[in-house]
């Protein structure tokens, strides 16, 4: 009996040990399958992300292809237009083609001359401002207008009231301007007198026309006789009250309008020679 009980106990214990071992094996299998499932889920997520990226790239490439196609269509259209124009140009005579060529050369030369003139103007402005640096800016102004350099000198600096006799102090200023003028002999000089709207009438002057002209000729004489500017380069003119810089209804405006302008111009004969050479 004891043997039987012992045998049953042994079988029971053995069976229990076998069950625990099997359970452990199943747990191991479960854990491994769980890891594999997680790996599979991660790979699936990575694959989905890759597909989304490729879809975005595909849309971008499609857009680029469409842009390129639009450019090709545009170039084709322009090419057809050019071909049509070439067909029109094919009927231009030899003389007409030569005329077009000369016109283009003239435009090129004029553009080159303009660039050169702009460079000269820049040098002139810098030299004048440096030379006149000790003069009050309200009395002397240097600027480029209409492609040429203007030196505008107030009449309170140049002349006594209602007079056309140049002040001694003004001769210093004119001497500095003359120095720059003499350094650029390729330029002509136009001196213009300007007045405000208040009329003048004296024994020697009928009106503002006379005053503006006489003031211009006084400045020209100083430039010629005292500072050696060649008279062939000089022109004197009066504009009276008819080219104001500012409003004549205020004292400040009238004061700005009472001025003499020294204008540095390219020699007209050289300019016309340039155009003639291109014909």
Each domain of the chain, given as residue ranges in start order, spans: 18-87, 113-276
pLDDT at 222: 98
Question: In sequence order, what are the residues at sequence separation of 6 or more whose Cβ sits closer than 8 angstroms to the Cβ of residue 272?
Answer: none
* Beta-bridge partners for 56: none
Measured between alpha carbons, how far is 222 from 191 in angstroms, rounded to an integer? Answer: 12
Going by C-beta distance under 8 Å and a sequence separation of 6 or more, which residues neighbour residue 142?
A: 125, 128, 129, 132, 149, 150, 151, 152
95-104, 138-147, 236-245: lowest mean pLDDT where? Answer: 95-104
Percent of the chain with pLDDT over 90: 41
115-129, 201-215, 221-235: which has the minimum mean pLDDT? 115-129
Residue pLDDT, tens place only, 29-82: 877 888 888 888 888 887 787 767 766 766 776 777 677 777 777 767 766 665
pLDDT confidence of 180, banded at 50, 70, 90? very high
Rounded to an integer, what distance in angstroms lies between the CA atom of residue 1 and that of residue 6?
Answer: 9
Q: The tokens of 210 are what? A: 């006379």
Q: Point out the least confidently predicted range of 3-7, 15-19, 172-176.
A: 3-7
According to the model, what pLDDT value does residue 266 have?
86
Domain 113-276 annotated CATH 3.30.1330.60: yes
Strands 234-238 and 187-194: parallel
Q: Give me 279's structure tokens.
A: 């014909």
How many residues are given for the chain?
279
More confident residue, 34 or 278: 34
DSSP 8-state secondary structure symbol assigned to residue 144 = E
């Amino acid at each position: 009996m004891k043997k039987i009980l012992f045998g049953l106990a042994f079988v029971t214990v053995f069976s229990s040990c076998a069950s625990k071992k099997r359970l452990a094996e199943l747990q191991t299998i479960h854990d491994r399958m769980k890891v594999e499932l997680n790996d599979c889920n991660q790979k699936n997520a990575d694959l989905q992300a890759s597909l989304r990226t490729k879809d975005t790239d595909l849309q971008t490439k499609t857009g680029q292809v469409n842009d390129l196609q639009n450019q090709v269509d545009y170039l084709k259209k322009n090419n057809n237009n050019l071909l049509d124009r070439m067909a029109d140009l094919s009927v231009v005579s030899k003389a007409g083609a030569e005329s077009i060529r000369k016109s283009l050369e003239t435009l090129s030369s004029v553009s080159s001359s303009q660039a050169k003139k702009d460079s000269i103007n820049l040098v002139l402005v810098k030299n004048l401002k440096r030379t006149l640096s000790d003069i009050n800016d309200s009395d002397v102004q240097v600027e480029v207008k209409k492609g040429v350099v203007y030196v505008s000198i107030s009449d309170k600096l140049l002349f006594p009231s209602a007079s056309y006799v140049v002040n001694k102090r003004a001769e210093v200023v004119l001497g500095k301007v003359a120095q720059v003028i003499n350094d650029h002999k390729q330029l002509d000089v136009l001196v213009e007198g300007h007045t405000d709207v208040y009329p003048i009438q004296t024994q020697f002057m009928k009106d503002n026309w006379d005053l503006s002209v006489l003031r211009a000729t006084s400045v020209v004489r100083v430039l010629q006789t005292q500072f050696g500017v060649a008279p062939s380069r000089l022109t004197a003119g009066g504009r009276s009250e008819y080219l104001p810089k500012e409003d004549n209804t205020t004292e400040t405006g009238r004061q700005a309008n009472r001025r003499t302008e020294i204008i540095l111009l390219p020699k007209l004969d050289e300019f016309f020679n340039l155009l003639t050479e291109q014909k």
